Chain A
Amino acid sequence: MNTMSPTSMSSDQPNTGIYLDNNATTMVSPEVVEAMLPYFSEQFGNASSMHQFGDRVGRAIKTARQQVQALLGAELDSEIVFTSCGTESDSTAILSAIKAQPERREIITTVVEHPAVLSLCEHLEKDGYSVHRLEVDGQGRLDLAHYQSLLSEQVAIVSVMWANNETGTLFPVEQMAEMAQEAGVMFHTDAVQAVGKLPIDLKTTAIDMLSLSGHKLHAPKGIGVLYLRRGTRFRPLLRGGHQERGRRAGTENSASIVALGKACELAQAHLETERTQVAALRDRLEQGILDVVPNSFVTGDPSNRLPNTSNIAFEFIEGEAILLLLNKLGIAASSGSACTSGSLEPSHVMRAMGIPFTAAHGTTRFSLSRYTTAEEIERVIEAVPPVVAQLRKLSPYWDQDRPATEGQGHQASFQPAYA
């Protein structure tokens, strides 16, 4: 069937495009590729083995562990547990907390978490757990007083993301971890989007567990880390061999672990670049677009977000259509629209912030990296306004140069019958 055929929408010129979808995944840095390659060939040993082949790999993993430790500001390298991805780290953290404290039957999280946390919590609800989902205001911010009121001895774990993947909005996880600690409750943060983009110093915080994912910081896909503060009660997800001190059995993915270590080292060296250069390019992009495109606005909390992320709602048009037209121009971004998710549901993050659906469907996320250039940003600023204008010309909500509802005459406002 033709609809099954692959490649049908892909851009004709791979890798010549402008990649502004770094919150989805990042390019693996050339230095990282170089670092990991030997571990596919001559350095093939099993780190557990009692010979030089294994020993060399074991040492490389140790170095990588220290590189991750340094980026996270963890007190000990033994607090770093390698996993297969961010999702595994999230699942391990939450499931460990409830297994280790069977008498506690409540979980606190937020409505805007990644599915890695939300779906798991929904699933646990079916098993009888009470899940408190903290709501957010119009800018994606939490009500900490309400959070305080939910902390109790019934709560097994609080799991709150450090940075939101769609809007980049930051949650005050350091403060929230301290509040949890006061109440004697374990605290986990999904920092998949934050690590490498923000300075983090875990030893000065009360965070017990933290998830990160390699492919969001220029390491390969399929490698993650669960940070586990020393002394945190823990139950492994995978039992078996003694790898990762028995906390995550399974022969180490040594090439990817080495790669992640290298990527963490590079990320640490570039933290200042994120704060200055990447943030400046992001601001230029955002202002360049908002200045010329009417009826567009930034979603989330612009004063408190990741340096690389800009999420702009273009009212009265739909995100997938925007992405398809941008893709034709070689520009890669992403959208909170229903149609891009595969689930046909508009983004739960946009809904949680109360963004009207005529705007939520047109939200477009531009996420930069330290590889993004000023020249690329200028080209995107040029490209976006005509794309928006072209789609608005097709939109029943739009009338010449303004929303149809603001026009005059009986035909002016569009009021469809809804299914």
Chain B
Amino acid sequence: MWDYSDTVKEHFFNPRNAGAVADSNAIGEVGSLSCGDALRLTLKVDPASETILDAGFQTFGCGSAIASSSALTEIIKGMTLDQALKVSNQDIADYLDGLPPEKMHCSVMGREALQSAVANYRGEVWSDDHAEGAMICKCFAVDEVLIEETIRANSLSSVEEVSNYTKAGGGCSACHEGIETILARVLTEQGRSFQPSAPPAKAPERQRVAIGMPLMPKRDQTSAPAEQPSASATVVAAVATAPPAISASVAPPPGSAALAAASPAATSPAAATANKAESGAKARPQLSNLARIRRIEQTIESIRPNLQRDHGDIELIDVDGKNVFVKMVGACSGCQLAAVTLEGIQERICEDLGELVRVLPEQAMAFAQRA
């Protein structure tokens, strides 16, 4: 059974603005064949100000499709058309206190209906540009089409690279077989061949990619999310198996070593971040210790509201050279995505600070100090 938030349930059982607006002057109709959902959005727009005076929806779809439609109409009422067009899928999901990753596409449909309705009002023709394929990675809701297109666009050749570009495969790893199948097909089409266990090419001198990689070592990723040891424990394992990151030339956990070597560093987004961070470090004057810690604090402060919305939180515990120790609390600690969250926070801090640091859960302090 899906884990719906109370807000999703509330909007499903008591949908707002259900039904068509009687004197509407904008209608959007979209559907998704693959999941069978369809939605009609009717708006009453004030011609002078382009303000949405009223909005109504009719939805053929599951619980979260109905709740997303209800949320969308609540969000856009009173907005101008231009404001409404800026409403993102994430805004809809946030309004509902989150949707299960697999159900994010339900909020996509709401946004498309809105675009279609605005196009209808303005006398334009709207055509949908997103195709949806079979869901491959359930941890991050990544479908086949996206994976395939990303492989083609970036000439990817390994599962690690796919995870790096699309996140798919970066969680529980249960979808690696599916990703390998897509890789094998695309590479064969391109006249290349997929070598799942190709030995990594000689490691570059500086392991730039160490930063921004999932911190979870591969061997801990074979179980389903529910059975996984808490993510913080997993991170500890990563630290334990690899010498902790003291400088930028880190030996990454075994899982990411292959990636570091296999991906052309310049094209990998993680490497790009690292590059940016490094060049930033050169350009910027060295920060004093205090200023440095302040800036880390600021970055963490700016991230907190996001985590709090998901009923989690983060706290800065210590900064020790290149290691930033944090404490994950609430829903974030032990959540299967905690390691991914840490990864994202690490990227942010690296960017804001203009240097490479490593964000670790406080449990890793013992290991890091021993080394």
**Residues of A near any B CB (own CB < 8 A):** 1-6, 8-10, 316-321, 324-325, 328, 337-340, 342-346, 357-358, 360-361, 393-397, 414-419
Contact = CB atoms under 8 A, between A and B. Distances in A.
Given A6-B3, A8-B4, A417-B127, A338 B35 contact: yes
Given A1-B311, A357-B33, A417-B126, A396 B59 contact: yes
B138 interface: yes
B148 interface: no
Given A394-B58, A417-B126, A419-B30, 16 more contacts: A1-B311, A1-B312, A2-B97, A2-B98, A3-B4, A8-B6, A9-B2, A317-B60, A318-B36, A321-B61, A337-B36, A338-B34, A345-B134, A396-B39, A419-B128, A419-B130
Interface stretch (B195-203, B331-339, B363-371): B331-339
A63 to B, nearest CB: 35
Given A8-B3, A338-B36, A1 B59 contact: no
Nearest to B31: A416
Contacts of B65: 318, 339
Smallest CB-CB A-B distances: 7 pairs: A416-B31, A339-B62, A320-B62, A396-B58, A396-B40, A3-B98, A416-B29
Contact of A10 (B1, B15, B30, B310): B1
Contacts of B331: 1-2, 4-5
Nearest to A6: B3
Interface centre among B30, B38, B63, B311 (most CB of A within 10 A): B38
A1 B336 CA distance: 9
A397 B60 contact: yes
A388 B4 CA distance: 21
B187 interface: no
B46 to A, nearest CB: 22
B4 A344 contact: no
A415 B62 CA distance: 19
A1 B98 contact: yes
Interface string B1-25: 1111110010011010011000000
A419 B132 contact: yes
Contacts of A1: 98, 310-312, 331-332, 335, 337
26 contacts: A1-B311, A1-B331, A2-B311, A3-B100, A3-B101, A4-B331, A5-B331, A9-B1, A316-B60, A318-B37, A319-B62, A321-B61, A339-B35, A339-B64, A342-B138, A344-B34, A344-B135, A394-B15, A395-B59, A396-B58, A416-B29, A416-B31, A416-B39, A417-B30, A419-B30, A419-B130
Contacts of A340: 62
Contacts of A337: 36, 62
A414 B41 CA distance: 11
Contacts of B36: 318, 337-338, 346, 357-358, 360-361
B59 A2 contact: no
A219 to B, nearest CB: 24
B116 interface: yes
A340 B102 CA distance: 11
B138 A8 contact: no
Contacts of B2: 9, 320
Contacts of A343: 134-135
Given A2-B331, A395-B59, A397-B38, A328 B3 contact: no
B131 interface: yes
A340 B37 CA distance: 13
Nearest to B1: A9
Given A3-B100, A417-B29, A344 B35 contact: yes
B176 interface: no
A2 B134 contact: no
Nearest to B99: A3
Contacts of A328: 13
A121 to B, nearest CB: 16
A340 to B, nearest CB: 8
A345 B37 CA distance: 11
A416 B38 contact: yes
A358 B127 CA distance: 22
A397 B112 CA distance: 18
B66 A414 contact: no
Contacts of A319: 62
A415 to B, nearest CB: 7
Interface in B108-149: 112, 116, 126-128, 130-132, 134-135, 138
Contacts of B44: none
A289 to B, nearest CB: 20
A357 B35 CA distance: 9
B150 interface: no
Contacts of A395: 58-60
B207 interface: no
A414 B116 CA distance: 14
Interface centre among A9, A338, A396, A416 (most CB of B within 10 A): A416
